[in-house]
Structure 1
Amino acid sequence: MTSLVREIPAAPSAIALMHFSNRLTFETDCSDVHASQQGGEVDFILVDVRGPLAFERGHVPGAINIPGRLLTTEGLAGYPKNSLFVVYCAGPHCNGANKAAVKLAALGYPVKEMIGGVTGWLDEGFELSVAEQCPVNAAIGCEC
């Protein structure tokens, strides 16, 4: 008798290696973002793509807020094309980060998704920050 796990055979190792290696070019996780921040190795722009109110209530420390609808050529004009954006949203139940990644890639920016989003961040035991000033990045021309 075969288990449900083995009902569909696993991919050959070479194909699995290619698949999982490729996934890592599209995503990072909360732990890697946190470790980079703690080590002072922040060579990426962490973007919370949720709305300003959600950002204000709690966001990953060091993140800026650029709601997905504001990811435009004009809104990102101040960022060099080689800027690596790491985007996140509420969590696995939200596809806002995926939509933002599509927009950023279409605009020619390198991008990764921080898988898990806010939910993943909290699951790792990390704290959220609360916005004290305008929750939207001033570089995109929004006012509070």
Structure 2
Amino acid sequence: MRNNVTAVPAAAAADALAHFERLFAYETDCWDTHEALQQPDPGFVLLDVRSPALYARGHVPGAISLPHGKIIASKMAQWPAATLFVTYCAGPHCNGAARAALRLAQLGRPVKVMAGGITGWIDEGFALETMSAMAGV
């Protein structure tokens, strides 16, 4: 039976292998990010690239607020050139993480996107941190 799924044949296994292996060079997921953040040195800097107001309402614990439009060479100079950055935004309906990743790549920085963003983080059942919680309020 022919339908929209079967109308285009699947890639050859070798091509699919190369494609899916390559995806992990560009992205990670919320679960793996959460697990890595439990370590003393997760091996990356997590950037929340949404607005400061959204960051204050709730963000991934340990994330740094740096809206994608503010990613410039002078701000990134505080980290060594080989630092891996992981970016996230609101979720699958938002392209802010990809915009941030593009800016970082243009600056020659290693970068991955956290697939799912805040929406995925919440869907996995992980807690958000708020600015009032950080201030002890």
Cα deviation for residue 84 of structure 1 reads 0.1
**Counterpart of 2:80?**
80
CA-to-aligned-CA distance 1:18-73 (integer Å, 9 cap, x gap): 11111110000000001112244411000000010000000001100001111001
- Written as runs of structure 1 = structure 2, the 5 A alignment for 1:1-144 is 1-132=1-132
Cα deviation for residue 3 of structure 1 reads 3.7
CA distance in 2, matches of 1:62, 1:78: 17
CA distance in 1, matches of 2:77, 2:121: 29
CA distance in 2, matches of 1:71, 1:86: 13
Cα deviation for residue 12 of structure 1 reads 0.1
> TM-score scaled to structure 2, two decimals?
0.93
> Amino acid of the residue matched to residue 115 of structure 1?
A
CA-to-aligned-CA distance 1:115-139 (integer Å, 9 cap, x gap): 00000000000000002469xxxxx
**Counterpart of 1:141?**
none
> Amino acid of the residue matched to residue 56 of structure 1?
A
CA distance in 2, matches of 1:79, 1:38: 21
CA distance in 1, matches of 2:41, 2:11: 35
CA distance in 2, matches of 1:5, 1:97: 29
Q: Name stretches of at least 5 consecutive residues in structure 1 with no aligned partner.
A: 135-144
Give the fraction of aligned pairs with identical amino acids, expressed as a percent. 50
CA distance in 2, matches of 1:7, 1:58: 43
CA distance in 1, matches of 2:75, 2:35: 29
Cα deviation for residue 7 of structure 1 reads 1.4
* Structure 1, 32-41 or 67-76: larger mean CA deviation: 32-41
The runs of at least 4 consecutive aligned structure 1 residues that moved more than 6 Å come to none
CA distance in 2, matches of 1:40, 1:122: 23
Cα deviation for residue 4 of structure 1 reads 3.0
